[in-house]
Amino acid sequence: MSRQVSAFAAEEERRVLSLRPVLAPVHRAYGPHPNQVYDLWPAEDPHAPLVMLLHGGYWRYDRMHLTPFAAHLARQGFTTVLPGFRLSGGAGGYPATFDDIALAVDTIPGGRPFVLAGHCSGGHLALWAGARGLLPADSPWYTERLPTAVLGLAPLTDLAATIREDLSEGAALQLLGGPELVADRLPLVDPLTLLRGRGRTGVRTVLLHGTEDSEVPLEQFADYAAAHPEAEVVTLPGVGHYTLIEPGSEPSRAVVDLLHRLSRPWRDVPTPVCP
């Protein structure tokens, strides 16, 4: 299916993705692979809540386009972590991308409570990480140590629909390794499939999206909400896909407000992230 891009959406995409990358003050590794690294923007307050961001780009592109927003969140009072991971089409895809996300969320916070947020395909990875308690107990990704909360920013929630609608020219098929492997792999890495028959992840979950999102079909948000009735869905009228991560935009203020609300119960826990 070819995506219809309006002039509004094209301008929004150009404007946000052309922002100059921001160099993080701290850069560290969370594993031995060259892609297993993360950027860290410490907030001024040592008691500031911790937010981990997972970037979009249909699992193919690097995190640099999200560095301006990560730096913006630090200025809004969050210690912000932006991990890299092995990318589809290169060293990543199934299972390496999911190995990296699991390792990052399990180790970087160092036991500190945190909100896990992700945009677009990063939202898919965040929702998946929040649902790892629904995996079979013998899965290497299964864990009972989950994020305190998950915030999906215009997230891909349904890999089957992403494949069916051929979003970003077969990106989900590439992630899973090809059509012949979908049946076996999709149930282990698709948030919607994991939820069906369960109804809840046990992790506070919020989805935020705009009514003018031309990148992710709006049905994906509605279908996720139907499968996960405890999830909160916040819809912003007249907002597209990218302004959620545009520093200082009106939609980005909604993101900041949600992150403050999701982190409020444990704001006074001053545990450092993993060195």
pLDDT tens profile 144-167: 999 999 999 999 999 999 999 999
Report pLDDT digits (tens) over 87-106.
999 999 999 999 999 999 99
* Host domain of residue 130: 7-266
Query: In the chain, how long is the greatest CA-to-CA distance?
Result: 50
Full DSSP string of 108-120: TTTT---EEEEET
Total-model pTM: 0.95
Whether residue 274 is contained in a domain is answered as no
| CA-based R_g, the chain, Å | 17
Which are the contacts of 226, defined by CB distance < 8 A and separation ≥ 6?
Answer: none
Separation CA 163–CA 179 (nearest Å): 9
Mean pLDDT for 63-77 is 98
pLDDT tier, 53 (very low <50, low <70, confident <90, very high otherwise):
very high
| Domain-embedded: residue 212 | yes
In a domain, 1, yes or no: no
Work out whether the CA dihedral 40, 53, 239, 21 comes out positive or negative: positive
30 domain residue, yes or no: yes
Q: Identify the CATH number of the domain in which residue 24 sits.
A: 3.40.50.1820
CB 101 within 8 Å of CB 128 = yes
Q: Which tens digit of pLDDT belongs to each residue from 217-249?
A: 999 999 999 999 999 999 999 999 999 999 999
Q: How far apart are CA 206 and CA 30, in angstroms?
A: 27
Domain count, the chain: 1
